[in-house]
A and B are shown apart, each in its own frame.
Chain A
């Protein structure tokens, strides 16, 4: 996907590659294999130092847990689907599942999902659009 490269990024682990393609940055520990969302230097699991390698998160995975959010902070549109996804590379990521009916009937454990990149408008950003990631059914 290509986006306006001027659009600010909503979260620090969302990056743009050299060609402007968005991706989610992660770190893999060479000592224990654990994958962490975002960039880091030391492994929180095995405490190894200097073993972290930058990687890109997998963009497909399965729904691990979900909730339907009906009440949120002022200005936030509800309902929306808040999910925890087990990515296919072994990482775990929280996000909003969109392009789906926000109802319990539409949600199933282990349903396949994938990451998409979308421009969104945060509730407290004065209308400024940001680039974010979302989950969509795969």
Chain B
């Protein structure tokens, strides 16, 4: 079966845009991705639009109302933090299935400030533990400490690294160095996650134009195309502690195994990774879940700089969710933008030299909700 390619991809600079609408943010990224491909909305045969905050609000159709209503099929997608990647994967599937040759995928989110988590009704917060996201990922880090002795300092180093990376990314929400002492002495939110070890709630959008192989050739776009070696999704397989501790690892491990098999490559072949560092604790756990090191070795990886730019497997050179920001519905496509940019060799100061294969990972969910994980392996065409 022939491959599917990315021929246009872009994201807006993440930030806070309270005066904008969600469809207008989506439209901006969509037009940027179309321009990147040298194509028009009139060329698109389908739209998959990811957004969480207005999941019932027909964001895709409202975006088309801003940039051109051509009557194409629109699917609005919501899947927690995997929302954008799910929209991208649905676009990929529609081409893989032979239905379409050119499809637009958009991810967009407008976020409030403050803690995410909790639910409706009478609050159990503080009485039956905590439902905040930082607490949930604190437990996940603490479990790693329990098993392997991982330290507060090692978790904090993730934030130092990703903030450093973001100083080279003009599209990141922040471009600032955060030395280790600053990260560790920042306001403690939920031990071991300080404020600088929590992802930033921002507004943002990202978009990609996907094309069938024959269309890439017909349009002469192969020189700017990025091949999608695999697109995989998983939900959380049953794990013993799942009701007490939402599980993001089982879904990631399952997704990674399927992804490497589908792409016919192994973790040792991957040149860069954008993974779901919603909290500093999460990044270390996912090194192991994605197989870039053996269980228990994540602390050593961060200590030795293996996942920093210039290391063997740079992780989150965009700045990651920790510094670039985490607009839930946009994150999955923004990660794909980052990896595609390196594969095209146009990442500027933060370029991972010689990058040929990159992996993107998002995983979302919450207490009592379950998990959605999406992994893509991309290759220089």
CB pair B241–A69 under 8 Å, yes or no, is no
CB pair A82–B129 under 8 Å, yes or no, is yes
CB pair A76–B125 under 8 Å, yes or no, is yes
Q: How far is the CB of B178 from chain A (nearest CB, A)?
A: 18
- Whether a CB of chain A sits under 8 angstroms from the CB of B126 is yes
- Whether a CB of chain A sits under 8 angstroms from the CB of B94 is no
CB pair B127–A67 under 8 Å, yes or no, is no
Q: How many residues of A contact B (CB 8 A)?
A: 41
User: Which residues of chain B from 188 to 235 have any CB-CB distance to chain A below 8 Å in the complex?
Assistant: 188-192
Q: How far is the CB of A114 from chain B (nearest CB, A)?
A: 16
CB pair A120–B127 under 8 Å, yes or no, is yes
- Pick from B133-141, B160-168, B310-318 the stretch touching chain A: B133-141
CB pair A132–B124 under 8 Å, yes or no, is yes
**What residues of A have a CB within 8 angstroms of the CB of B244 in the complex?**
37, 64, 84-85, 92-94
**What residues of B have a CB within 8 angstroms of the CB of A72 in the complex?**
115, 125-126, 130, 132
- Whether a CB of chain A sits under 8 angstroms from the CB of B294 is no
Q: A94-B128, A96-B127 are in contact. Are A67 and B122 (CB under 8 A)?
A: no
CB pair B132–A124 under 8 Å, yes or no, is no
**What residues of A have a CB within 8 angstroms of the CB of B189 in the complex?**
69-71
User: Which residues of chain A from 69 to 123 have any CB-CB distance to chain B below 8 Å in the complex?
Assistant: 69-73, 76-78, 80, 82-85, 92-96, 104, 109, 120, 122-123
Q: How far is the CB of B115 from chain A (nearest CB, A)?
A: 6
Q: How far is the CB of A106 from chain B (nearest CB, A)?
A: 13
Q: Mark B101-134, 1 if CB is under 8 A from A, else 0.
A: 0000000000000010010001111111110101
**What residues of A have a CB within 8 angstroms of the CB of B143 in the complex?**
64-65
Q: How large is the interface on B (under 10, 10 to 19, 20 to 34, 35 or more residues)?
A: 20 to 34
Which interface residue of B124, B125, B138 has the most chain A CB atoms within 10 A? B125
Chain B's closest residue to A85 (CB) is B244
- Whether a CB of chain B sits under 8 angstroms from the CB of A44 is yes
**What residues of B have a CB within 8 angstroms of the CB of A23 in the complex?**
none
CB pair B126–A77 under 8 Å, yes or no, is yes
- Whether a CB of chain A sits under 8 angstroms from the CB of B240 is yes
Cross-chain pair count, CB within 8 angstroms? 122
**Distance A133 CA – B188 CA, assembled complex (angstroms):** 26
CB pair B130–A69 under 8 Å, yes or no, is yes
**What residues of B have a CB within 8 angstroms of the CB of A3 in the complex?**
none
**What residues of A have a CB within 8 angstroms of the CB of B265 in the complex?**
none
CB pair B190–A67 under 8 Å, yes or no, is yes
- Whether a CB of chain B sits under 8 angstroms from the CB of A11 is yes
CB pair A130–B245 under 8 Å, yes or no, is no
**What residues of A have a CB within 8 angstroms of the CB of B125 in the complex?**
72-73, 76, 122-123
CB pair A95–B128 under 8 Å, yes or no, is yes
- Whether a CB of chain A sits under 8 angstroms from the CB of B187 is yes
**Distance A80 CA – B126 CA, assembled complex (angstroms):** 7
**What residues of B have a CB within 8 angstroms of the CB of A31 in the complex?**
none
**Distance A85 CA – B129 CA, assembled complex (angstroms):** 11
**What residues of B have a CB within 8 angstroms of the CB of A120 in the complex?**
127
CB pair B146–A82 under 8 Å, yes or no, is no
Q: How far is the CB of A43 from chain B (nearest CB, A)?
A: 9
**Distance A125 CA – B120 CA, assembled complex (angstroms):** 12
- Whether a CB of chain B sits under 8 angstroms from the CB of A55 is no
**What residues of B have a CB within 8 angstroms of the CB of A71 in the complex?**
115, 132, 134, 187-190
**Distance A55 CA – B135 CA, assembled complex (angstroms):** 29
CB pair B139–A69 under 8 Å, yes or no, is no
CB pair B243–A11 under 8 Å, yes or no, is no
Which interface residue of A65, A76, A83 has the most chain B CB atoms within 10 A? A65
The residue that B243 contacts in the complex, of A36, A69, A96, with Cβ under 8 A, is: A36
- Whether a CB of chain B sits under 8 angstroms from the CB of A68 is yes
Q: How far is the CB of A130 from chain B (nearest CB, A)?
A: 7
**What residues of A have a CB within 8 angstroms of the CB of B134 in the complex?**
71
**Distance A116 CA – B143 CA, assembled complex (angstroms):** 25
Closest 4 CB pairs of A and B: A67-B138, A82-B129, A92-B244, A94-B244
With contacts A64-B143, A92-B240 known, what are 4 further pairs, Cβ within 8 A? A10-B127, A67-B138, A67-B142, A104-B191
Listed A/B pairs (19) with beta-carbon separation below 8 Å: A66-B139, A66-B142, A67-B139, A67-B142, A67-B192, A68-B191, A69-B135, A72-B115, A77-B126, A80-B126, A80-B130, A82-B138, A84-B245, A92-B240, A93-B244, A94-B245, A96-B127, A120-B127, A123-B126
Chain B residues with CB under 8 Å of chain A are 115, 118, 122-130, 132, 134-135, 138-139, 142-143, 146, 187-192, 238, 240-241, 243-245
